[in-house]
Amino acid sequence: MFPTFNASNFEENCQKVASMDKDLAQVISEHGYPPVWNRPNTFESLVHIILEQQVSLASALATLNKLRGKITVISPENVLALSDEELKACYFSRQKTVYVRHLAQALVNGALNLTELEGLADDEVRQRLLTLKGIGHWTVDIYLIFVLKRTDIFPVGDLAAVNALKRIKKLDKDTTRETLLALSTLWQPYRTLATMLLWHYYLSSAKPKQVNTL
């Protein structure tokens, strides 16, 4: 089995990464522990993550809820039965219509099996998901964190996490991706927990608009 977090070990793991970094310890001191963010390993969860690409979390949720209102059960078969116009009426962009259809088809024809991903190492999960149109590294990172609950993921493409990191470390806004990744290695093997503390800080401090990226 691969290291994962859950409700019973979450705070302990947060403390472990906080013991490695005084700034993360300060986040806990000022804001408490973050929620135990997680989602089930379902087609709907992956659709939700795709919808969150490069838009606000509220906008993505509105689209997901509109789709749920249309088909009740968000399954590959039900999505594939919808026309492009019906998906557009559920607020799907043309691009995300293509992405979600591609994902649904992969699940229907057996090219992808979500249950199988649970038994694969992080890099193997990444390799499989990246073959799908519209799924990039950010989407894989969020899937590994929220769905598979892996403990050692730092989504360097996530604007909220990166901006929070720059803020608590007082880094220049032009700090390179390579520098940020190098800094995140100091939190191994608990980079996911560090990320959740960064998100918690981001959401608790300034309440800015939540925008994600691929």
Structure tokens at 196: 């959740």
The alpha carbons of the chain give a radius of gyration, in whole angstroms, of 18
Tell me what pLDDT residue 212 has: 53
Are 186 and 20 spatial neighbours (Cβ–Cβ below 8 Å)? yes
pLDDT digits (tens, 9 = 90+) for 95-142: 999 999 999 999 999 999 999 999 999 999 999 999 999 999 999 999
Angle at 112 between CA 58 and CA 81, to 5 degrees: 65
pLDDT digits (tens, 9 = 90+) for 10-66: 999 999 999 999 999 999 999 999 999 999 999 999 999 999 999 999 999 999 999
Residue 106 CB contacts under 8 Å (≥ 6 apart), including other chains: 112, 132
Structure tokens at 183: 């800094």
d(CA 126, CA 2): 14
pLDDT digits (tens, 9 = 90+) for 177-202: 999 999 999 999 999 999 999 999 99
Q: Which domains does the chain have, with CATH numbers?
A: 10-37+155-205 (1.10.1670.40), 43-147 (1.10.340.30)
Q: Which pLDDT band holds residue 80 (cuts at 50, 70, 90)? A: very high
Token pair 């909220």 in the structure block, residue: 160
Q: Which residues are bridge partners to 4 per DSSP? A: 150
Token pair 């520098």 in the structure block, residue: 179
Are 154 and 140 spatial neighbours (Cβ–Cβ below 8 Å)? no
Q: Which pLDDT band holds residue 210 (cuts at 50, 70, 90)? A: very low
Are 148 and 118 spatial neighbours (Cβ–Cβ below 8 Å)? yes
- Indicate yes or no: pTM above 0.75: yes
Tell me what pLDDT residue 214 has: 43
Tell me what pLDDT residue 1 has: 77
Q: CB 129: neighbour CB atoms within 10 A?
A: 21
d(CA 125, CA 132): 12
Q: Which pLDDT band holds residue 206 (cuts at 50, 70, 90)? A: low
CA 77 to chain CA centroid, nearest Å: 24
d(CA 188, CA 93): 37
CA 4 to chain CA centroid, nearest Å: 15
Tell me what pLDDT residue 207 has: 53
For all residues of the chain together, what is the average pLDDT?
A: 95
**Percent of the chain whose predicted confidence (pLDDT) is above 70:** 96
**Percent of the chain whose predicted confidence (pLDDT) is above 90:** 95
